Amino acid sequence: MGACATSSSSSAARNSCVAQFNKWRAGGGQAAFLAVGRAVGRYGRAASVLGSSAVSAATVSQLRLAAADLLTAVHSAQADPPPACVPGLRSTSGMALADFARAARAAETAVNAVKANDAQGAVKDIRASTIALVAGARAIKKTDQDIQRFESSN
């Protein structure tokens, strides 16, 4: 009887976790992460334009706006974290969001450096932003793997 009770409670816990995951996904959690992805893309394009052309008020403004949009998207996703019952998902998604937030803040600092005519500071901050973006992309890949593992096991 003990084995049946354990199996039954394990099944109930798994079903509860699946329900939590589906509620998070349908309730906007997944949409928030997709918005982060779009914001990362916009930020990447703005940084690329800035890096491949002369620094102008327009390119700096584009970068500033893209960084602000990325930070807004990150905060929205952080407000609705995935359920803790999905192995690894909350941790990897949290790392990705923290990395993307760090990238956006470094870009904002770079914009301030450009405005202060501090080219070395701007380059240092853009480099830090790029490193954080790459780390965020790696963490998002792990987040996707966590989701795939969870879905394939249920």
Question: What does the pLDDT read at residue 7?
Answer: 58
Q: How confident is the model at residue 1 (pLDDT cuts 50, 70, 90)?
A: very low
Spell out the residues 6+ positions from residue 80 whose beta carbon is closer than 8 angstroms to its own: 24, 27, 28, 29, 32
Q: Which residues contact 24 (CB under 8 A, 6 or more apart)?
A: 30, 80, 82, 83
Kindly report, residue by residue over 52-101, the tens digit of the pLDDT: 777 788 888 999 999 999 999 999 999 999 999 999 999 999 999 999 99
Residue type, 33: F
**4 or 122, which is more confident:** 122
Is-contact 89 147, C-beta < 8 A?
Answer: yes
pLDDT of residue 97: 97
What is the reported pLDDT for 22? 94
pLDDT at 4 over 70: no
What is the rounded distance in angstroms from the CA atom of residue 40 to the CA atom of residue 46?
10
Non-local (6+) Cβ contacts of 51 within 8 A are 126
Helix ranges (DSSP H) in the chain? 2-24, 30-52, 57-78, 89-115, 119-153
CA distances from 88 to 28, 38, 78, 93 (A): 20, 23, 16, 8
Structural contact between residues 145 and 125, judged by C-beta atoms closer than 8 angstroms? no
Higher pLDDT, 51 or 120: 120
pLDDT > 60? residue 6: no
Name residues whose C-beta falls within 8 Å of residue 62's C-beta, 6 or more positions apart in sequence.
46, 49, 50
The residue ranges of every structural domain in the chain are 2-153
pLDDT at 128: 94
At 50 the pLDDT is: 76
CATH 1.20.120 fits 2-153, yes or no: yes
Kindly report, residue by residue over 126-147, the tens digit of the pLDDT: 899 999 999 999 999 999 999 9
pLDDT of residue 35 exceeding 60: yes
pLDDT for position 49: 83
